[in-house]
């Protein structure tokens, strides 16, 4: 068996996954079976008894998940870094080099403008739009003069 598996878009240790599944089955199934046995003898309506047993079985699943999460904590380390103005500008330059065009941020809805300001992108987009307009004007002037 491979050491690492891909499960729901995440990489997990196969041993920890197998132990977690066994833990879930070892807690949830006996909880359900015991609850079904108890409720079948104490509750008159058997449909209701089955529903109660199922509810306790689900509680056993949650308990097993909590225990597994405590036994097998995540192993990855996530590091956040704040984007600098230069890195944002590099990203925008990369998009522009691929032929992207910039919409004037002043023409966007006020809510969108506010979100861009909160993300620190509004000024960068204004500058990118102005540079795009300047390049377009230069290309237009060069085309009128007949130069490539």
For 59-126, give the DSSP string.
HHHHHHHHHHHHHS---------PPPHHHHHHHHHHHHHTT-----GGGS-HHHHHHHHHHT-HHHHH
Domain boundary among 71, 94, 118: 71
Alpha-carbon distance values, 109 to 14, 18, 90, 105 (Å): 49, 51, 25, 9
Containing H/E element for 136?
helix 122-145
8 and 66 housed in the same domain: yes
Q: Taking the complete model, does pTM exceed 0.85, yes or no?
A: no
Read off the pLDDT of residues 61-72 as tens digits, 9 standing for 90 and up: 999 999 999 998
98 and 67 housed in the same domain: no
Domain annotation covers residue 30: yes
pLDDT value, residue 104: 77
How many domains would you assign to the chain? 2
Asked whether the predicted pLDDT for residue 96 surpasses 70, the reply is no
How many CB atoms within 10 Å of residue 140? 9
Give the up-direction half-sphere exposure of residue 133: CA atoms within 13 A in the CB hemisphere: 9
With contact defined as beta carbons under 8 Å apart, do 30 and 55 qualify? no
Domain annotation covers residue 15: yes
- pLDDT over 70 percentage in the chain: 77
pLDDT value, residue 85: 65
pLDDT value, residue 94: 72
Domain annotation covers residue 13: yes
Domain annotation covers residue 77: no
Give the C-alpha separation, 90 to 95, whole Å.
Answer: 9
Domain assignment of residue 113, given as a range: 85-145
46 and 99 housed in the same domain: no
pLDDT value, residue 10: 80
Asked whether the predicted pLDDT for residue 50 surpasses 90, the reply is yes
Read off the pLDDT of residues 21-44 as tens digits, 9 standing for 90 and up: 999 999 999 999 999 999 999 999
Position of tokens 């066994």?
22
Domain annotation covers residue 54: yes
Average pLDDT, the chain: 82
- pLDDT over 90 percentage in the chain: 39
């Amino acid at each position: 068996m491979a050491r690492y598996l891909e499960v729901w878009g995440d990489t997990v240790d196969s041993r920890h996954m197998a132990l977690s599944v066994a833990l879930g089955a070892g807690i949830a199934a006996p909880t359900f079976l015991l609850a079904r046995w108890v409720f079948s003898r104490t509750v008159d309506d058997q449909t209701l008894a089955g529903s109660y047993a199922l509810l306790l079985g689900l509680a056993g699943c949650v308990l097993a998940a909590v225990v597994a999460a405590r036994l097998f904590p995540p192993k990855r380390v996530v590091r956040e870094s704040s984007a600098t103005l230069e890195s944002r500008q590099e990203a925008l330059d990369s998009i522009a080099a691929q032929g992207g065009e910039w919409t004037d941020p002043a023409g966007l809805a006020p809510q969108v403008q506010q979100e861009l300001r909160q993300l620190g992108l509004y000024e960068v987009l204004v500058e990118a739009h102005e540079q795009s307009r300047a390049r377009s004007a230069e290309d237009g002037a060069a085309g009128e003069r007949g130069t490539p």
